[in-house]
């Protein structure tokens, strides 16, 4: 997996290039066609030459998002489409991300939204703690240090978001080290979810991974949450209710011992000419 132009960035005459770690960026999509080409290009610019990467769109769309993804693949970008037809979309966004994890054999799995609220340029920074073997799980945060939640629409959304965070920390102890446990932007070592039965339904897949996943070291990565590039938000009251239900399910697990991490770790290392 490499960029479109097949360009090798290794210096000639230095022997075989070290194998770069592999990363699949899983992007759940529902009716995001105007965002696809921009997203693909910006992910390519962010990751080419740093890791072996591919982009996997797990798509529950009824618009022409699949055509936009196919066009990017035809243009030579390392993108894949897993389209889930109407009536076969279990778990919504979270189910789509789970399907994406299952369809990848990469060492590292990253998840980001399609609407560019998670700027692709942050991917090297998000992956760096895993590539450097300092973390098993890295969650993007809109709330710590340099992070900013400017893309959250309006004071009401910001209030709900902050209130939910406090509630999540209270009910899900394993989330307490994360300043944004409801983030849709995160990365994990594959081992974290290997053989783990995730059971999420709705938008909050990170919370599910944090609660049930096999990780020891989690860290925050601050970034600026941007405004949606194009198309419409899929957040809804129904999603809010699903979140409440999900949170209560996870809260019941709070006195259980955390799952055993998988050892030993095989630390991926990256070619860091860029700013990873
Ligand atoms: N596969 C799949 N993707 C979904 C589904 N619902 C939303 N998505 C995608 O999940 C990502 C996040 O959805 P958004 O609508 O941006 O939700 P949000 O970012 O929480 O809300 P806004 O801040 O209002 O944009 C986007 O890439 C959506 O296309 C779904 O049911 N299935
Ligand atoms: Mg969004």
Q: Would you give the distance in Å from CA 171 to the centre of its chain? A: 23
Q: Is a pLDDT exceeding 90 seen at residue 223? A: yes
Classified as helix, coil or strand, 102 is helix
pLDDT value of position 224: 92
Query: Is the CB of 81 inside a 6 Å radius of any atom of ligand 1?
Result: no
Residue located via tokens 């446990």: 181
Q: Is 32 in the pocket of ligand 1 (CB under 6 A)?
A: yes
Q: What is the Cα Rg of the chain in Å?
A: 18
What pLDDT does 97 receive? 97
Instruction: Provide the pLDDT for residue 255.
Output: 78
**Least confidently predicted of 8-22, 136-150, 183-197, 251-265:** 8-22
174 within ligand 1 shell (Cβ under 6 A): no
Lowest mean pLDDT among 56-65, 207-216, 244-253: 244-253
Ligand lying nearest the CA atom of residue 151: 1
Confidence of residue 147 (pLDDT cuts 50, 70, 90): low
Q: Is 22 in the pocket of ligand 1 (CB under 6 A)?
A: no
| Most confident among 143-152, 175-184, 258-267 (mean pLDDT) | 175-184
- Give the pLDDT confidence of 153-169 residue by residue, as tens digits: 667 777 777 788 888 99
Find out whether the beta carbon of 242 lies less than 6 Å from any atom of ligand 1. Answer: no
Ligand 1 centre distance from Cα of residue 204 (Å): 11
* Top-ranked range on mean pLDDT: pick from 2-11, 12-21, 132-141, 227-236: 132-141
The pLDDT of residue 219: 96
Q: Which residue has the higher pLDDT, 17 or 74?
A: 74
How confident is the model over 93-123, as pLDDT tens digits? 999 999 999 999 999 999 999 999 999 999 9
Distance CA 105, CA 11 (A): 28
Average pLDDT, the chain: 86
Instruction: Give the ligand at the shortest distance from the Cα of 117.
Output: 2
Least reliable range by pLDDT among 94-103, 178-187, 237-246, 256-265: 256-265
Of 35, 40, 88, 93, best ligand 1 pocket probe by most atoms within 8 Å of the beta carbon: 93
Ligand 1 probe mutation, 25, 115, 140, 180, most atoms within 8 A of CB: 115
Nearest to 43 by CA among 34, 53, 33: 53
187, pLDDT greater than 80:
yes
pLDDT digits over 11-49, tens only? 444 445 557 889 999 999 999 999 999 999 999 999 999
Residue 113 CA, closest ligand 1 atom number: 27
Closest CA to 167 of 244, 223, 229, 92: 244
3-state secondary structure of 97: helix
pLDDT above 80 (res 132): yes
Q: Is 91 in the pocket of ligand 1 (CB under 6 A)?
A: no
Domains and their CATH numbers in the chain = 22-251 (3.90.550.10)
List C-alpha distances in Å: 228 to 32, 58, 118, 130: 11, 19, 9, 27
């Amino acid at each position: 997996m490499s960029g479109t132009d097949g360009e090798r960035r290794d210096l000639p005459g230095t022997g075989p290039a070290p194998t770069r770690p592999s990363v699949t960026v899983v992007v759940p999509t529902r009716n995001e066609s105007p965002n696809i080409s921009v997203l693909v290009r910006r992910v390519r610019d962010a990751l080419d030459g740093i890791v072996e990467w591919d982009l996997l769109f797990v798509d529950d769309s009824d618009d022409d998002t699949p055509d936009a993804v196919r066009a990017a693949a035809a243009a030579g970008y390392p993108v894949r489409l897993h389209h889930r037809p109407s009536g076969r979309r279990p778990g919504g966004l979270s189910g789509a991300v789970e399907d994406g994890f299952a369809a990848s054999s990469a060492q590292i799995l990253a998840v980001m939204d399609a609407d560019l609220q998670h700027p692709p340029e942050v991917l090297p920074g998000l992956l760096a703690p895993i590539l450097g073997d300092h973390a098993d799980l890295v969650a993007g945060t809109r709330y710590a240090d340099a992070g900013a939640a400017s893309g959250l629409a309006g004071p009401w959304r910001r209030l709900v978001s902050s209130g939910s965070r406090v509630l999540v920390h209270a009910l899900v102890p394993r989330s307490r080290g994360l300043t944004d446990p409801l983030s849709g932007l995160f990365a994990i070592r594959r081992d974290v979810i290997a053989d783990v039965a995730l059971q999420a339904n709705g938008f909050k897949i990170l919370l599910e991974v944090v609660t049930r996943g096999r990780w020891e070291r989690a860290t925050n990565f601050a970034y600026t949450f941007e405004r949606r590039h194009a198309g419409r938000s899929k957040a809804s009251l129904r999603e809010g209710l699903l979140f409440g239900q999900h949170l209560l399910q996870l809260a019941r697990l709070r006195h259980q011992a955390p799952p055993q991490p998988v050892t030993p770790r095989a630390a991926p290392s990256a070619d860091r000419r860029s700013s990873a």
